[in-house]
Structure formats: structure tokens, C-alpha cells
Amino acid sequence: MTLFETRGLRKAFGGLVALDEPDITIESGELVGIIGPNGAGKTTFFNCITGVLEPDSGTVSFAGEDVTGEPIHAIAQRGLVRTYQHTRELTTMSVKENLKLAAPDHPGERLGQAIRRPDSVADHEAAVERRADDLLEQFDLTHVADHYAGELSGGQRKLLEIARALMLDPEMLLLDEPLAGVNPTLGQEIVEYIDALNDEGTTFLVIEHEIQTLAELVDRLIVLNEGSVLADGDPETVLDDDEVIAAYLGGTGDDGVTTPLGGES
Ligand SMILES: Nc1ncnc2c1ncn2[C@@H]1O[C@H](COP(=O)(O)OP(=O)(O)OP(=O)(O)O)[C@@H](O)[C@H]1O
């Protein structure tokens, strides 16, 4: 069953066309990677499908509904949730508070409801508490639950970012560079978490510059180049594609972020 689909999406910044109709379809339960040289439009794509940016034209549909242009929280409520390349934790709050704040309908903000329906709010708070505790345990963060989030290592911040997204119980999770700045051991753990969550039914779309690691993880790899889909298929075939190799070799690579495809030819 198709869960997610974009058609004819365009986004320009002044004269620069960042998204040029990358038509992308994701089936429910898939684990899909997106790669592409620096500036290919990957983050702009995430921004346009999650309500961070409004596309100039085109449509985004999720679970059979047109969600184009809806605000971030409305799209997240539908079950399409993302993480950010630069993690967004509140550094002077505890790790656990960060998780609890990510829950939908934070009860503390709904005093009117608290007065009218105390039981349901108490139930909600207990459920949020349980969910936060479960995620802390699942991501091996229980021992730092009461630490300020600002004290976490870069890798632990990535884990917290993913855990915060999971507080929203997403049907589809969009991860923007989950391995960037993470040491290889923790990176492997993150890969295993993604794999396990996918086995449990979460659909994934993952932007990542660690191409070899991503290729081993995903069912399908999409290559964006200059805002369009250059290739889409099983990872081995895609990484062997001459046009894909040329697109990477053509990249400037001047900031050291572009990862060579490596070892394929
Ligand atoms: N807010 C903005 N204002 C102007 N130009 C932008 C803006 N956001 C992105 N761009 C430009 O749009 C193009 C696509 O950028 P985007 O960040 O989506 O690429 P990317 O594939 O995610 O790159 P990277 O791998 O380096 O993160 C780039 O040329 C970028 O400079």
C-alpha cells in the first residue's frame, strides 16, 4: 500500500531551483534511503514535505490524504515525523523532560482541560511518563535521564532526537543524517535501532552521507541530483549506475561532506 507520495514538487530560492519535481513514492513498511551530492535538495525535500517550507507547487500525500502546505504539527499528528540534521534538544532541560515535552498535547499546557477532566489528564501524563521511560531504556539513556540534555555527547543527542520523534508514535519517520557526528560504535547501534523499528512496522526515509552504511541498511536507494530523482532502485544497482557515479564525481566536495561511493568499480 502506498503510504507517501510526492508529485510535481517545486521549490525555488530566488533563481535557484532546489526542488525540481522529484516524484517519490514510498510503500508502507519500506526502509528507503536518500542520497545525493551537496546541494542536491535533500533537506529542502524534507522541509517541503513536513511543513517547514511551503513548496511553490506540487503535492504531498500521506496515508491517502493531501497534506501539502499543512503546518509541521498537523503533519506530525498524522504520523509523518522528522528529525533534524542539527539536533533540537533543549540543552538546559533534562533528557527526560525533553522527551516528555515532545509528546503530543503536553498536559501542562492545557490547564482548562486539567480542570474539567482531571482523570483523563492524569492518565495522559502517566502514559507520557511510561512512554518516556520505555524510550530511555530502549535507547540506553536511562542513566542520563536526569542530566541536562546539553551534557550529552553528540551521539547521545542523535539518540535523543530520534527518541523525541518516537514520542509522537510516527507511522513514517524521516531521519536527516542520523549518523553525522556519531562514532562508529554508536552509529552501528543507531542502524540497529532503525532496523528494529522498521521490523516492527515503522516506515523510514533516511538522508545520510554515509552511503555504504545506508546501502546495507535500506531496501531501496533514491538519488537526488539538482532537485530531481536521478536513480531509484535497489542499492547495489543504484550505486553502480554511471550517472550516479558521475553526479558524485561532478560535486565540488570542497567542504569535505560529499562521500565518494567507494569500492564499487
Ligand atoms: N533557505 C534557503 N535559502 C536559499 N537557498 C537555499 C535555502 N535552503 C537551501 N538552499 C539552496 O538549495 C539547494 C539545495 O539545498 P539542500 O540543503 O536542500 O541540499 P542538500 O542535498 O540537503 O545538501 P547537503 O547534503 O549539503 O545537506 C542548495 O543550493 C542550497 O544552497
Nine-digit cell at 122? 492524569
Does the pLDDT value for residue 183 go beyond 80? yes
Distance from C-alpha of 250 to C-alpha of 63, rounded to nearest angstrom:
37
Nine-digit cell at 31? 526502509
Strands 220-225 and 172-176: unpaired
ipTM confidence score: 0.97
Do 159 and 194 lie in one domain? The reply is no
What pLDDT, in 10s, does the model give residues 73-103?
899 989 999 988 777 777 778 999 999 988 8
Do 161 and 178 lie in one domain? The reply is no
Name which residue sits closest to atom 7 of ligand 1, judged by CA. Answer: 13
Do 248 and 182 lie in one domain? The reply is yes
Cα atoms in the 13 Å half-sphere on the side-chain side of 259: 17
**Can you tell me whether residue 127 is helix, strand or coil?**
helix
Q: Which atom of ligand 1 is nearest to the CA of 46?
A: 18
Do 73 and 1 lie in one domain? The reply is yes
What pLDDT, in 10s, does the model give residues 8-29?
999 999 999 999 999 999 999 9
- Among 82-91, 154-163, 189-198, top mean pLDDT goes to 189-198
Do 62 and 133 lie in one domain? The reply is no
Do 36 and 117 lie in one domain? The reply is no
Contacts of 236 (CB under 8 A, 6+ apart): 215
Distance of CA 77 from the midpoint of ligand 1 (Å):
26
Number of domains, the chain: 2
Do 59 and 187 lie in one domain? The reply is yes
Boundaries of domain holding 71: 1-78+169-264
Do 24 and 150 lie in one domain? The reply is no
